[in-house]
């Protein structure tokens, strides 16, 4: 079980680490709003990774096939949402450093990245490949799968904690003008990610 947990930890770190729209949101929200918002964004992605890990690890073939079959609509929704976040980011004003924590905004940060990560059904194919490589295949050992999923969540969460902590250290050194620049760069990149997703839409399901 410990070995499976450590393997899941490594997988979670490897899947979370590549820079993409979720990483960009974590960095931008940490710089603009503080570490709690960046970490909440990352934990949303970690939760989605764990959900897909459950589907792959417990052999829920019918659900994984359904998600892949809905790739067009999920990609469309994710692309449109990224474009919306890009426009919203461009129009946002960097908040005061003295601003308090808003539980509603924390939930919004969490659920926005949760939904964005779930909107990429090809993530589940990565988990299916990993779990098959670890010998689970279509006849999973549920105790082993549970340990792996727990490790995946912890590994992913650890990455987001490290990223938000490192970014938070940089935040104290940036002026308001720099934070406005971060907003504009983030907005442009989010729009680029969204438009790229929309340009690469898979065929419409019949």
Task: Report yes or no on 206 lying in a domain.
Answer: no
In a domain, 190, yes or no: yes
Residue 13 lies in a domain: yes
Q: Report if residue 204 sits inside a domain.
A: no
Task: Please give the residue range of the domain that contains residue 9.
Answer: 2-199
Q: Rounded to an integer, what distance in angstroms lies between the CA atom of residue 191 and that of residue 193?
A: 5
* pLDDT for position 97: 52
Please report whether residue 52 resides in a domain. Answer: yes
* pLDDT tens-digit map of 94-140: 655 545 567 888 999 999 999 998 887 677 777 777 777 766 555 55
Is there a domain that residue 161 lies in? yes
Asked whether residue 32 is domain-assigned, the answer is yes
pTM summary value: 0.81
Total of domains in the chain: 1
pLDDT tens per residue, range 147-189:
888 998 999 999 999 999 999 988 877 777 777 787 788 889 8
pLDDT tens-place string over residues 42-95 = 999 999 989 888 887 776 667 777 777 788 888 888 889 889 888 988 887 665
The CA dihedral of 144, 150, 153, 157, to the nearest 10 degrees, is -130
Residue in 108, 113, 104 with CA at minimum distance from that of residue 49: 113
- 97 located within any domain: yes
């Amino acid at each position: 079980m410990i070995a499976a947990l450590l393997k899941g930890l490594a997988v979670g770190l490897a899947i979370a680490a590549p820079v993409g729209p979720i990483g960009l949101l974590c960095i931008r929200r940490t710089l603009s709003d503080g570490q709690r918002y960046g970490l909440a964004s990352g934990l949303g992605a970690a939760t989605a990774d764990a959900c897909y890990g459950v589907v792959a690890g417990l052999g829920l073939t019918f659900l994984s096939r359904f998600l892949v079959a809905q790739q067009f609509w999920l990609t469309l929704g994710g692309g449109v949402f990224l474009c919306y976040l890009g426009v919203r980011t461009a129009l946002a004003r960097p908040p005061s450093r003295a601003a308090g924590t808003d539980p509603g905004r924390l939930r919004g940060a969490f659920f926005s990245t949760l939904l964005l990560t779930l909107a990429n059904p090809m993530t589940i194919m990565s988990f299916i490949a990993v779990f098959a490589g670890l010998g689970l295949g279509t006849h999973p050992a549920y105790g082993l799968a549970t340990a792996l999923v727990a490790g995946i969540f912890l590994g992913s969460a650890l990455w987001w904690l490290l990223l938000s902590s490192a970014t938070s250290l940089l935040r104290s050194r940036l002026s308001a003008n720099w934070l406005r620049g971060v907003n504009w760069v983030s907005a442009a990149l989010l729009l680029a990610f969204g438009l790229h997703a929309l340009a690469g839409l898979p065929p419409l399901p019949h």
